[in-house]
Each structure stands twice: as C-alpha cells, then as structure tokens.
A and B are shown apart, each in its own frame.
Chain A
C-alpha cells in the first residue's frame, strides 16, 4: 500500500516528528511504499543542517536522513513555511542574499503542490500534528 505522511509540529516541542519517524520505519519494514513525507509549518525546522542535537539525545534530523538514504525517500519541506523559519537551500540563499543555504541533505524544498500530489496518488495520508 502507498502511504504519504504529513508532519506539522515542531521537532523540538512535540513528539510528532519522532512518532512519524517510527511509523515510517515500520511501514517500510512491513513492505509498504512511502511515496512522500511532507514537512509543513513548524515541522520544517527539522531540515536545518545547523541543528546540533544534544549528546545522548536522539538525532532526529540524522535519523530521517539515514532512512531517506536507505529507502530513497522523498522528504519534501514546504518552501514557504521553511523560508520564513530560516531553512533555505542554496537557490533561496541567493534569492534572499544570505551567505549560504542550510538545507540538510536528502531534504528538498518545494511547494504545497507536492502535498496535493501526495494526497492524489497515495492510498493513505497520515497526519502527525500537535
């Protein structure tokens, strides 16, 4: 079965991103397909490559990146929500005249159309919010 996940809450304030990660891992283990993970609103903060996860605490951004590399996942970060939170790729850095982009590898900035497409083609869309 083809799943897509929508994550809306901050990885720092809420459990959603961690719950969604376990869910993603489990559904892939079970042989399902994960079409896309769409990070929206505060959840876009996960894609900042300047995050320094405290020693001894789960490094969620790294966990997502590793899972994405293992399974060629499509991790899409809402561009409008990300840019206003200071999560930018090199293109946006140029556009807004910032020194450099800070988007983590395996994450991609794109528009809400990617969410609409995920809804259109997936058998299940599961929202993780807070």
Chain B
C-alpha cells in the first residue's frame, strides 16, 4: 500500500492523471502545499475515478493557510501534521508527486 503525496494544484493535470493511474486499492492520497487546492468541492470530479477504499486527505495547515477549509469536498478528510506522519508510517511506502 502506497501513500501518494501530491503538492501540485489541479492545473497540473498530466501529473494528477499519472498519479491517479498509479493508485491501487488500499492506497491513500494526501494533498499538501498547493496540492490542497484539489480538495475544493469545485474539483470533486478530479478524484471521481478512485476506488472507494482509497482514502483522500488534505493537510490542515495548508488548507487553513489558503482559507479553503470550509470549501472542501465531503470526499476529503482533513489530516493534521501528526496524521500525515501516521499515514507515512502506516503505508508501506510513499510516492511524492510534484
């Protein structure tokens, strides 16, 4: 199981398409830095293809910094820094997409 760490916004469509292709059952995605813009409700179509058992997270500090915490999709869970570390240790490996 892999944790995919995405730090680019939805405008990086080729990168995000490649990441989504590399997702497998049981993987997780965490959006960090500019990646959290993908958590917006307005972009919920972006992750419509991922399996139900792939968890989607966005990093709290980056959501707050950008003022978008209240605008995120229901599909996305908020992870604080501690949960980010927990995700990295719980999954077998990480892939950073940037």
Contact = CB atoms under 8 A, between A and B. Distances in A.
Interface in A70-119: none
B85 A32 contact: yes
Contacts of A126: 5, 88, 94, 96
B32 A30 contact: no
Interface residues of B, number: 18
A124 B88 contact: yes
Contact of A129 (B82, B88, B96): B96
By secondary structure, the A interface counts as: mixed
Interface residues of A, number: 22
A14 B86 CA distance: 24
Nearest to B89: A1
Interface string A9-39: 0000011100100110111011010000000
B7 A32 contact: no
Nearest to B92: A124
Interface of A: 1, 3, 14-16, 19, 22-23, 25-27, 29-30, 32, 123-130
